[in-house]
Amino acid sequence: MVPANGDTAGPSSSQDDPAATMKKRNRPQYHPFTQQQLPACKPILAPQTVIPVLLFVGIVFILIGLGCIAASNRVVEVVYQYETSCIPGYMLDNKVAYIQTPSIDKTCTRILKVPKDMKHPIYIYYQLDKFYQNHRRYVKSRNDKQLINPKEANNTQYCKPEATEHGSPVVPCGLVAWSLFNDTYSFARGNKALRVHKRGISWRSEREHIFGKQVFPRNFQKGALIGGGALDPRIPLSKQEDLIVWMRTAALPTFRKLYGRIQVDLRAGELITVTMQNNYNTYSFGGKKALVLSTAGVLGGKNSFLGRGYVIVGLACLLLALLLTMLCLVFPLASLFANMAAFEMIGMGFWLQERGTSCTAVPFAPACTVTMRA
């Protein structure tokens, strides 16, 4: 019996067309996220909202910047550069020979005047210039496994050229440890010595997780070429805090590292006698050395860069807000929006002409009559 609609019985079109079946099978499941139909918020940057926001951000940033600058100015610093002043006059023309001759006394005594009251703790730093601890070969010349695990004492991988001494491994090995800073400082106020506290100058995480409590120095600075300070072979690396501070390599060629702390207050005008041992060789590469005494503020040491950055950004926001305000006064929003609408209609006319239609639009009028070409 023939169906009433005149169609013959047979399989569906989806079964006859494998491509349609494959297309249907590969169609992703509908979801608002994949179809980019999730609710969204698109703020309209109108002058009524942009100008107040810029004013608010500018004022807040300027206040924060002034606070940072004030906190930095409250920090008291005494900086004394001594790489040249501590050399005898007859050795100024041959500084490298002076520093490499052990028989020459390296003791240097200077008197520093305290400019303002300094509340304890007073931090003692040494500052080096033109010392590139961030050099790739220098940074890699160490073995962290050897530093933490006594069973890895023979592991001197990556430590060349300071890996072994007469066939025995050096602990700690590498150029970083070998170049340990070894200038020393002692302080006195009048006839009374000021104690320098050196415990706790390193990070606890480094003492506990990078330098081992059962790892002791071996064959360190035993070669013909001495790089820097020596280490006590009876003290484990986790307690050699000068070494721990030094091996936290700096990112810039000018850096400061903590030497110790003075736990007494210093009054303005007091004279501090500093006795320095000028042992570290910075003369071979034209480097500089300085001793720094500094207090600490809310944001750390003396550094006005952060405050200046906040002030500059705040002033830029205020200037931009003023510029937008002047533009709104010179060019009112009503005429500006009318001109924008007119330009949009003109652009629509060009778009229609490219597609075979003609548009007659009156300039600066929101009306457009579209007529099809014959």
**Is 11 within a domain?**
no
> For residue 352, what are the domain limits?
335-374
Task: Reply yes or no: is the peptide bond before residue 121 cis, omega within 30 of 0.
Answer: yes
Do 305 and 318 reside in the same domain of the chain? yes
**Is 363 within a domain?**
yes
Do 61 and 145 reside in the same domain of the chain? no
The C-alpha atoms of residue 212 and residue 235 are separated, in whole angstroms, by: 11
Do 196 and 269 reside in the same domain of the chain? yes
Do 249 and 350 reside in the same domain of the chain? no
74 closest CA partner among 297, 233, 278, 256? 297
| Crossing angle of the two packed helices 47-73 and 305-330, in degrees rounded to 10 | 160
Residue 24 burial by CB count (10 A; 0-12/13-18/19+): exposed, middle or buried? exposed
Do 154 and 96 reside in the same domain of the chain? yes
Could you tell me where the DSSP H helices lie in 238-277? 241-246
Do 288 and 177 reside in the same domain of the chain? yes
Do 313 and 165 reside in the same domain of the chain? no
Task: Reply yes or no: is the peptide bond before residue 172 cis, omega within 30 of 0.
Answer: yes
Residue 263 near residue 53, CB atoms below 8 Å: no
Under 8 Å CB-to-CB from 101, ≥6 apart: which residues?
Answer: none
**Is 33 within a domain?**
no
337 closest CA partner among 359, 360, 366, 362? 366
Do 315 and 347 reside in the same domain of the chain? no
**Is 35 within a domain?**
no
**Is 23 within a domain?**
no
Do 154 and 51 reside in the same domain of the chain? no
The C-alpha atoms of residue 326 and residue 313 are separated, in whole angstroms, by: 20
pLDDT in tens, the chain (374 residues): 444 444 444 444 445 566 655 556 677 778 888 888 888 887 778 888 889 999 999 999 999 999 999 999 999 999 999 988 888 888 888 888 888 888 888 899 999 999 999 998 999 999 999 999 999 999 999 999 999 998 888 888 888 888 888 888 888 999 999 999 999 999 999 889 999 999 999 999 999 999 999 999 988 888 777 888 889 999 999 999 999 999 999 999 999 999 999 999 999 999 999 999 999 999 988 899 999 999 998 888 888 899 999 999 999 999 999 999 998 888 776 555 555 555 555 555 555 555 555 444 444 444 444 444 44
Q: How many structural domains is the chain composed of? A: 3
Do 249 and 344 reside in the same domain of the chain? no
Residue 289 near residue 128, CB atoms below 8 Å: yes
pTM, rounded to two decimals:
0.74
Under 8 Å CB-to-CB from 278, ≥6 apart: which residues?
Answer: 82, 83, 86, 87, 99, 106, 107, 108, 183, 289
Counting Cα atoms < 13 Å in the Cβ hemisphere of 273 gives 9
Write the pLDDT tens digit of every residue in 100-153.
888 888 899 999 999 999 998 999 999 999 999 999 999 999 999 999 998 888
Do 87 and 229 reside in the same domain of the chain? yes
Residue 278 near residue 108, CB atoms below 8 Å: yes
Length of the chain: 374
Do 60 and 185 reside in the same domain of the chain? no
Residue 106 near residue 277, CB atoms below 8 Å: yes
**Is 355 within a domain?**
yes
**SS3 assignment, position 209:** helix
The C-alpha atoms of residue 266 and residue 118 are separated, in whole angstroms, by: 5
**Is 223 within a domain?**
yes
- The pLDDT value given to residue 361: 43
Residue type, 173: C
**SS3 assignment, position 227:** coil
Residue 69 near residue 63, CB atoms below 8 Å: no
Domain boundary among 239, 272, 296: 296
Residue 360 near residue 371, CB atoms below 8 Å: yes
**Is 189 within a domain?**
yes
